[in-house]
Structure 1
Amino acid sequence: MEQSFYTGKGIGVAILDTGIYPHIDFGNRIRAFYDFLSYKPRPYDDNGHGTHVAGLVAGDGRASGGKYRGAAPGCSIISLKVLDRFGNGSKEDVLRAFRWLSDYRIQYGIRIVNISVGTTCRTRQDHDSLLEGVERLWDEGFVVVAAAGNQGPRPGSITAPGSSKKVITVGSCDMLEGKGAVSGRGPTEECVCKPDIVAPGNRMISCIPGTDYPYGIKSGTSMSTPLISGAIACALEKTPSLTNGDIKMMLRECADDMGLPRNQQGWGKFNRKKFLSL
């Protein structure tokens, strides 16, 4: 993975997921952990998804001699466990995590919220409450980055909260066509074009719990999302005054057109080098 001089140092990235394993690649950068399910005090991940996502954001590659580094290997990690060992969670726990972020953003220096989870809500009320919660975070100044979901390729398959018109919604550029075309696509129920941008997500190598072999392979828009979150952390390290609106415009300007419809590729494929040069 291409790296720049910027590593996201000093930037807090909150990861809402299945938790986090204290992997060697995270060093002492797990700044906070909160378990909304079992209230265990120490970091853990009984599924592995959250650790993999965190590695793609923030792993420094120590266990691989630097080979498998995340997009922002110097950033701080704030892990909020909202999903159980099966990857399931409740709307209520996600909303509680949103409120926690509002309360602790200054204490932990949280600038970015990575949501590599999504749901096709059972009711319109559930859908609306998730969107209202995530948009409140955006309005408070957080840079919210959410997965498009893996319900594609049918139109209107973006999952919540990635279906919010305000947040940055990420699809997988290598899962848009052919048999593996699972990356969610728009339009949303509000007729908003989504995703906003796409990045690699197929067969990504990153951190996993356990000590036998410290890396594993996972695929999906969950894996694309942290590549964007990490790059944003690097941009904020470079220019701390950037707003979430500024970041969104920079992503639009840096995207490479793949020649696909807007509701499939968004603005296009993420170009990290171009993004960090803006």
Structure 2
Amino acid sequence: MDRVKRVIHCDRAYKMGLNGKNITVAVMDTGIAPHLDFDQRILHFEDFCQKKLAAYDDNGHGTHVAGIIGGSGLMSKDKRGVRLLSGVAPGVRFVVLKVLDQKGNGVTSHVLEGMDWLLQNREKYQVKILNISVGMMASAGKNEQEQLLHAVDEAWNQGIMVVTAAGNNGPKENSVTIPGISRKVLTVGSWDDNVTETGNSGRLTKNYSGFGPTECCIVKPEVLAPGTNVKSCSKDAKGYIVKSGTSMAAPVVSGAIALAYQKYPDYTPTEMKLKLYESVYPRGEQIGRKCWGMLHVNNLVV
């Protein structure tokens, strides 16, 4: 994570005192383990798979994602006391919705239940951002696709900035997973997907990041962030693990947006998306990618 934060240029934001404090991020994934890096910042856990009450993660993917967004890095302190593996926004609060099982698989009904719950409880927990590092392929049933796209669009309309992963089925056109093809939500690809993955999340080929344009000719993903060989929290309460994919790139952007919301708390999702468009650097045309460009946190929070 220390490398990731250097790549996305966070130094000015941190000097400004931004850390995501009082910003609530919802994470829809495999759950979250009670890792020491999350302190007491898990506001609520809702399990749509097994209906358990206590927070858990029987896969580890969701915990890794949450750590990227806002792990404190407590268990990664070096001899100088520097927290090398803290997340992008280590002060955020979490609402965690478990919609994927032990194998990382899920059914659309659980995701839709999670979306309904979130909309009903958005104001209670003051949720500003929803990170969805999961997706379905276009081969899924048309009705399921439309339901999921409608759900994320409705969350956006109600003031939740929805950040989704582009999926790992690239680089061919129209390879972005659903709900990342939504015109409204922010879709994130991996900037460093030209590096072969060597971690523990299953080997990925080079250039794995999903890309558009979509069937509706929308540029996707809009933003790129580091996603390969990212070290973050494991489901062990004290450990860390390396994973790769656009699932890791999306929470990097969610954390950055949490920093931006701390400075601009009244921004709507559309206004924040425009701020991102204006702040990315280098631009897509400068790096030969069909997207807006690379996440640049310092530009985002000026």
Shorter-chain TM range is: over 0.9
Q: Write the distance in 2 (CA, Å) between the matches of 1:276 and 1:80.
A: 28
Contact map agreement 1:176 1:183 (CA 8 A) in 2: no
1:206 aligns to what? Answer: 232
1:44 aligns to what? Answer: 56
Structure 1 residue 189 displacement after superposition:
2.0
Structure 1 residues 176 and 123, CA gap change in structure 2 (3 angstroms): farther
Is it true that 1:192 corresponds to 2:218 in the alignment?
Answer: yes
Deviations along 1:58-91, one digit per CA (max 9) or x if unpaired, are 1010001111010110010111000001110011
1:139 aligns to what? Answer: 157
1:109 aligns to what? Answer: 126
Deviations along 1:161-218, one digit per CA (max 9) or x if unpaired, are 111010000000111588510000001122211101100000001000115x610000
Structure 1 residues 177 and 209, CA gap change in structure 2 (3 angstroms): closer
What count of residue pairs does the alignment treat as equivalent?
275
Give unmatched runs, 5+ long, in structure 2: 78-82, 197-204
Contact map agreement 1:145 1:168 (CA 8 A) in 2: yes
Q: How does 1:261-272 map to 2 (within 5 A)?
A: 264-272=289-297
Give unmatched runs, 5+ long, in structure 1: none
Q: How does 1:127-276 map to 2 (within 5 A)?
A: 127-175=145-193, 180-211=206-237, 214-256=239-281, 257-259=283-285, 264-276=289-301
Q: Match of 1:33, SS?
A: strand
Letter matched to residue 90 of structure 2: P
Structure 1 residue 107 displacement after superposition:
1.0
Contact map agreement 1:112 1:233 (CA 8 A) in 2: yes
Identity of aligned residues (%): 43
Q: Write the distance in 2 (CA, Å) between the matches of 1:250 and 1:180.
A: 30
Structure 1 residues 201 and 265, CA gap change in structure 2 (3 angstroms): farther
Moved more, 264-273 or 131-140: 264-273
Letter matched to residue 142 of structure 1: I
Structure 1 residues 228 and 218, CA gap change in structure 2 (3 angstroms): same
Q: Write the distance in 1 (CA, Å) between the matches of 2:91 and 2:147.
A: 34
Q: Write the distance in 1 (CA, Å) between the matches of 2:56 and 2:136.
A: 23
Q: Match of 1:42, SS?
A: coil
Letter matched to residue 169 of structure 1: T
Q: Write the distance in 2 (CA, Å) between the matches of 1:100 and 1:244.
A: 20
Q: Write the distance in 2 (CA, Å) between the matches of 1:186 and 1:177.
A: 20
Letter matched to residue 44 of structure 2: A
Is it true that 1:63 corresponds to 2:53 in the alignment?
Answer: no
Letter matched to residue 201 of structure 1: G
